Structure 1
Amino acid sequence: MKSMDLNRPVTVWKEDDVVDGKREKALVAIFRTRGCHWSRKGGCSMCGYNVESLEGIGSEEISAQLSAILERYEGERMVKLYTSGSFLDPNEIPLEVRDRILSAFDGAKRVLFESRPEFVTPEVLKDLPDHSAVALGLESANDTVLRCSVRKGFGVKDYVRAADALRDRGFPVRTYLLLKPLYLTERAAIEDTKSSVLFAAPRSESVSVNPLNVQRETMVEGLWRRGDYRPPWIWSLFEVLKLKADISGVRIFSSPSGAGTQRGVHNCPECDKRLLDALEKFNFEQDASLLQKHDCNCRREWRSLLRTEDAMRTSVDVHRYLEDELAL
Structure 2
Amino acid sequence: WAHHSGCTMCGYFNDSIPDITEKEIARQFELALQKYQGEKIVKIFTSGSFLDEREVPTVMQRKMLEKFFEKADKVIIESRPEFIENISKIEPIPKNKVLEVAMGLESANDRVLKHSINKGFTFSQWRDAAKGVIDRNMELKTYILVKPPFLTEAEAIKDALHSARKVSDISDTLSFNPVAIHANTLVEYLWSRKLYRPPWLWSVAEILEGAAEIFDGQIKCDVVAGGRRRGAHNCGKCDGAFLNAVERFTLHQEKNAFKKLKCGCREEWLDSLEVEGFIKG
Report the alpha carbon displacement of residue 256 of structure 1 after superposing the two structures with TM.
Answer: 1.2
Aligned position for 1:6: none
Tell me if 1:73 matches 2:36. yes
Q: Is the 8 A contact 1:117 1:136 kept in 2?
A: yes
Tell me if 1:129 matches 2:96. no
Tell me if 1:47 matches 2:14. no
**Which whole-Å CA distance do the structure 2 matches of 1:241 and 1:200 have between them?**
15
Could you state the TM-score of these two structures normalised by the residue count of structure 2?
Answer: 0.95
Aligned position for 2:264: 297
5+ long unaligned stretches in structure 1? 1-37, 318-328
**Which whole-Å CA distance do the structure 1 matches of 2:88 and 2:226 have between them?**
36
SS of structure 2 residue aligned to 1:207:
strand
Report the alpha carbon displacement of residue 304 of structure 1 after superposing the two structures with TM.
Answer: 0.8
Amino acid at match of 2:261: H
Aligned length: 277
SS of structure 1 residue aligned to 2:19:
coil
User: Structure 2 vs 1, CA of residues 125 and 200 (structure 1 numbering), >3 Å: closer, same or farther?
Assistant: farther
Where in structure 2 are the equivalents of 1:1-328 lying within 5 Å? 38-106=1-69, 107-121=71-85, 124=88, 127-130=91-94, 131-310=98-277, 312=278, 314=279, 316-317=280-281
Q: 1:234-273 CA deviation, whole Å, 9 max, x = no partner? A: 0001111112442353111201111111111100221000
**Which whole-Å CA distance do the structure 2 matches of 1:173 and 1:125 have between them?**
18
Could you state the TM-score of these two structures normalised by the residue count of structure 1?
Answer: 0.81
Report the alpha carbon displacement of residue 123 of structure 1 after superposing the two structures with TM.
Answer: 5.8
Report the alpha carbon displacement of residue 125 of structure 1 after superposing the two structures with TM.
Answer: 6.3
5+ long unaligned stretches in structure 2? none
Report the alpha carbon displacement of residue 92 of structure 1 after superposing the two structures with TM.
Answer: 1.0
Report the alpha carbon displacement of residue 292 of structure 1 after superposing the two structures with TM.
Answer: 2.1
SS of structure 2 residue aligned to 1:290:
coil
User: Structure 2 vs 1, CA of residues 139 and 248 (structure 1 numbering), >3 Å: closer, same or farther?
Assistant: closer
Report the alpha carbon displacement of residue 163 of structure 1 after superposing the two structures with TM.
Answer: 1.1
**200-209 vs 50-59, which moves further:** 50-59
Identity %: 40
User: Structure 2 vs 1, CA of residues 245 and 43 (structure 1 numbering), >3 Å: closer, same or farther?
Assistant: closer
**Which whole-Å CA distance do the structure 1 matches of 2:151 and 2:167 have between them?**
20
**Which whole-Å CA distance do the structure 2 matches of 1:245 and 1:117 have between them?**
26
Q: Is the 8 A contact 1:45 1:149 kept in 2?
A: yes
Amino acid at match of 1:171: M
Q: Which of 1 and 2 has higher RCO (CA within 8 Å, sep 6+)? A: 2
